[in-house]
Amino acid sequence: MMKGIRGLLEKDFRLFLRQGGNLFLVLAVVAIFFILTGKMGADFIAVYIPSVMAVYSGNTISYDENGHGYTYLFSLPVNKKIYVREKYILSFIMTVCGWCIGAICAGIATLINPEEVLNLEMLAMELITFFVVQAVAGIMIAIRLRFEGEKGRIVLPIAILIIFAICYTIGSFLKANLELKESILNVIGGTGDLEIAIALIVLSLLVWYASYKYSMRVMRKKEF
Amino acid sequence: MLEIKGVKKSYGEFQLDCSLNVEKGRITGLVGENGAGKSTLFKAVLGLISYDAGEIKILGKTQEELSEKEKEELGVVLAEAGFTGYLKGKDVEAVLARLYPKFEAEKFHQMCEEYQIPLNKFIKEYSTGMKAKLNLIIALTHQAEFLMLDEPTAGLDVGAREGMLDILREYMEEKPERSILISSHISSDLEHLCDDIYVIHKGKIVLHEEMDTILEKYAVLKVSEEQYRAMDKRYLLKERKDFFGIACLTNEKQYYMENYPKIVVESGSLDQVILMLTGGER
């Protein structure tokens, strides 16, 4: 199994080098811009880079779909289980890389800008980001596997819009119901930061696992 | 190497219903017109599609039982499929080195050089012929025991097709216990390569015969209606009305040559046999 995963990882990293090199360059330029202008905080940079890197792993699926690519890949010593596992491993590796780069950039930002402080809170947020980004990348992979080609490209922005719409609706509802808002804030206020962090990490892990199981199921049913 | 027993698959009106065997040390051809079911059969063998009935055993195992290690023993070329065009030839080499422990990097380089495959170019910039050659090189450079080649000569000119068939002959000579299943809609490609031939038509195998038998015993008899009425019809496989009278396919050429010396006998070529089998009336 490991040979198959290693082969697919080799393919995807090479694809990233050939096609994602520009993305990497844009990421770096934007990060430097933020650092130098101080328009965004170091914490934003630390979240933004791993997010983009993780989401890229879902994007490699579209390269595999083109030109009967799946058909060919599965004629090699690779099966559907190996394929899905590789995508999740790829997103993990990309997140780790993005996370490290993000942390370095955030560190530089704090060095350049005296107002920025590299504190424990920021490091904790980075850690939580790592898990949340993994969950988001997992959802993206599942969506790309479920909806092929053009459909996938349409469904992805729709999914993001729906998430925003839900957040906006909840926000508006809370604004309209001040009592409810206050009681929620009381509950959150009463909960320690550590508990919130653990809850977020656990929730992310659950979402990640559910997306993995779903991706496996989608792939098992696929015919080429 | 490969055993297909009564495999059935329906796609709307199209129905695949096939049995086929590829024995060790043999080159088996699968010929049929476009849309006859060749690629569907290949996909079923590779587990890329499910099938409604029957059984497929490859290297003695079903697809579910086949481990990744055993899959390394297969070399596959599929019509119009390959690595993404956004990779370069040298990237493919690196991927293969990871996938196959028995990958022969030196042979890969040598063959790419010989067949003018530019490893520094993106695959999307390759011509159709270059892509076909690269796919065959990939299948041939990890010491596969069993090659499954679906239309490997598609998009190649006559010279390149001949060259490719020579490569396959050499591959078999290296290790005589190897086997090849090769499909093509260009029957002349297979005529001088294969040990036996399956002809597929509308999803069904309409002929399985040794290649030598086809060339020695099969023939098309061209007879007038009067000659047709008088002749023994026991060894006629198919008949078709033609402008001169009736064309009949037989697998007993010698019998008719000896007993009906006035009949025009056109010795069997695979093309003629296929044409008669897929277009004949009987």
pTM score: 0.83
A15 touches chain B (CB under 8 A): yes
Nearest to A68 among B81, B87, B122 (CB): B81
| 3-class SS of residue A156 | helix
Average pLDDT score over residue span B226-246: 85
Q: Hey, are the CB atoms on A14 and B95 less than 8 Å from each other?
A: yes
| B216 confidence band (pLDDT: 50, 70, 90) | confident
pLDDT at residue B44 tops 70: yes
Say if CB B23 and CB B17 are below 8 A apart: no
More confident residue, A32 or B220: B220
Residues A95/A54, Cβ–Cβ less than 8 Å: yes
CB atoms inside a 10 Å sphere around CB B254: 13
**Two tokens at B65?**
């039982």
- What is the arithmetic mean of pLDDT over B54-78? 89
| B208 to chain A, closest Cα gap in Å | 26
Q: How far is CA A223 from CA A53, A82, B36, B41, B50, in A?
A: 29, 16, 19, 13, 7
> Does the pLDDT value for residue B262 go beyond 80?
yes
Q: What residue in A sits closest to B83 (Cα-Cα)? A: A69
Q: Name the token pair of B100.
A: 């196959």
Q: What structural domains and CATH numbers belong to chain B?
A: 2-211 (3.40.50.300), 218-279 (no CATH)
Mean pLDDT, residues B191-208 taken together: 89
Q: Residues B224-251, buried b or exposed e (16+ Cβ, 10 A)?
A: eeebbeebeeebbbbbeeeeeebbbbbb
Min distance B236 CA to chain A CA atoms (Å): 41
* Residue-level pLDDT at B63: 84
Q: Enumerate the residues of chain A whose CB falls inside 8 A of the CB of residue B43.
A: 71, 224
| Mean pLDDT, all residues of chain B | 88
User: Strand, helix or coil at A18?
Assistant: helix
Question: What tens digit of pLDDT does each residue of B136-172 get?
Answer: 999 999 999 999 999 888 778 888 888 888 889 889 9
| Apex B214 CA angle, B172 and B151, nearest 5 | 50
Which residues of chain A are modeled with pLDDT < 70?
1, 35, 38-42, 114-119, 149, 152-153, 156, 160, 185, 187-193
CB spacing of B69 vs A63 below 8 angstroms:
no
Task: Give me the residue label for tokens 């119009």.
Answer: B80
A10, A32, B14, B99, B154 from A69: Cα distances, Å: 16, 37, 24, 16, 18
Give the least confident one: A175-179, B241-245, B246-250: A175-179
Is 70 exceeded by the pLDDT of residue B17? yes
Give the Cα separation of A45 and B178 in Å (integer): 57
A chain contacts of residue B72, beta-carbon cutoff 8 Å: 77
pLDDT, position B64? 83
Supply the pLDDT for residue A87.
93
pLDDT surpasses 60 at B173: yes
* DSSP 3-state of B183: strand
How far is the alpha carbon of A159 from chain B, nearest alpha carbon, in Å? 27
Q: How far is CA A117 from CA A98, A120, A123, A189, in A?
A: 21, 9, 11, 24
Give chain A's domain count. Answer: 1
- Phi, psi dihedral angles at A147 (to 5 degrees): -110, 110
- Residue-number span of the structural domain to which A66 is assigned: 2-221
Partner residue opposite B84 with nearest CB, options A66, A77, A224: A66
Ranking A30-34, A197-201, B34-38, B214-218 by mean pLDDT, the lowest is: A30-34
**Can you give the pLDDT at residue A171?**
73
